[in-house]
Structure 1
Amino acid sequence: MSLTLNRKHLDAINHHAERTYPDECCGLLIGRLTETGRVVSEIWTTENTWTQEVADEMGDGLLASKTRRYWIAPQEMLAVMKAARQQGLEIVGIYHSHPDHWAIPSECDRRLAWPQYSYLIVSVVQGKVINAQSWALDDHHQFQSETLHALECPRMRRESLIPNA
């Protein structure tokens, strides 16, 4: 599988990640599922609503800090699902940032992930995006890297984004 979006979307996600640093940003990827992967047609920025109350509900002593966790309010997820469906689209993924960490899913990311989505993680070091990587869950609920493509606008030239590991 792969995740495909246009460069303007990726730039907007990167800007969101830098603007919210040192907290994690988060948002939704809206589009369609195709035979080869998920294709994003728009992004929906959301507020990171992680709180101590959410942490307590999740259990396992998770931290309440937005610098290491994100949470999208369920009512916002539902509203976006409905709005996307009215356009013949669906949520195909979730993006979030990792401030001062690699674009690699955490154990918390894995535990809270849903198998139908791509997870785009943006690494932000000292306030600047350094790379992005997309992940998807396999049949054993483990993250596997997936190919991330950005389409240049307006020529729509395809380029593969390879993380700087």
Structure 2
Amino acid sequence: MALTISKEALSIINEHAEADYPNECCGFFYGLADGGQRQVRVIQKVKNAKEGDQRRRFQIDPQDYQKAEKYAIDNDLDLLGVYHSHPDHPAKPSEHDRKVAMPYFSYIIVSVQDGKAVTVRSWRLNESQQFDEEPIETHEFTPEV
């Protein structure tokens, strides 16, 4: 399985991650899931609702999840997953990320080092509730924001 995303969409995610540095940013991405392929069509920034230290954690308000599900239904898209940043840490899921992850979602993580997005990786939970890396393929497609 691969996650296909446009360079423009990656740029939007990276810019969000850099703008929120040194805090973690977060957001949703929508698109189409067809067999083993997932194609990202829409990026949606979300406010990090975590109270306290946002440099090490993000939280998405449950109402934002509800709005995201409604947006997907209203626009005939799949809610494919969540993106977030890891300020001054690798683009690998933490144990906390694993504990709060949902099986269907893809999780894009952006490593931001000294305010600059340097690495983007995607992950999905397997049947053993561990993360497997999901390949990211880029394509030319202008995402909706």
Range into which the TM-score falls when normalised by the shorter chain = over 0.9
Give secondary structure in 1 for the equivalent of 2:135. Answer: strand
Q: Give the match for residue 95 of structure 1.
A: 83
Q: Distance in 2 between matches of 1:11 and 1:150?
A: 11
Unpaired segments of 5 or more residues in structure 1? 52-63, 155-165
Structure 2 letter corresponding to 1:70: F
Are 1:47 and 2:47 an aligned pair? Answer: yes
Matched, 1:117 2:105: yes
Structure 2: any 5+ residue segments left out of the alignment? none
Structure 2 equivalent of residue 23 of structure 1: 23
Find the counterpart in structure 1 of residue 6 from structure 2. Answer: 6
Residues 6 and 150 of structure 1 are in contact (CA less than 8 Å); yes or no, is this contact kept in structure 2? yes
User: Which structure exhibits the higher relative contact order, with contacts defined as CA atoms closer than 8 Å and separated by 6 or more residues?
Assistant: 2
Q: Which runs of 4+ in 1 moved over 4 A?
A: none
Q: Percent identity?
A: 42
CA deviation digits over 1:52-104, x for unaligned, max 9? xxxxxxxxxxxx41000001111011111101111111210100000000000
The separation in 1 between residues aligned to 2:9 and 2:67, in whole angstroms, is 21
Match of 2:116 among 128, 143, 153: 128
In the aligned structure 2, how far is the partner of 1:140 from the partner of 1:85?
Answer: 29
Larger Rg belongs to: 1
Q: C-alpha root-mean-square deviation of aligned residues, in Å? A: 1.1
Residues paired across the two proteins, number: 142
Q: TM-score, normalised to structure 1's length?
A: 0.83
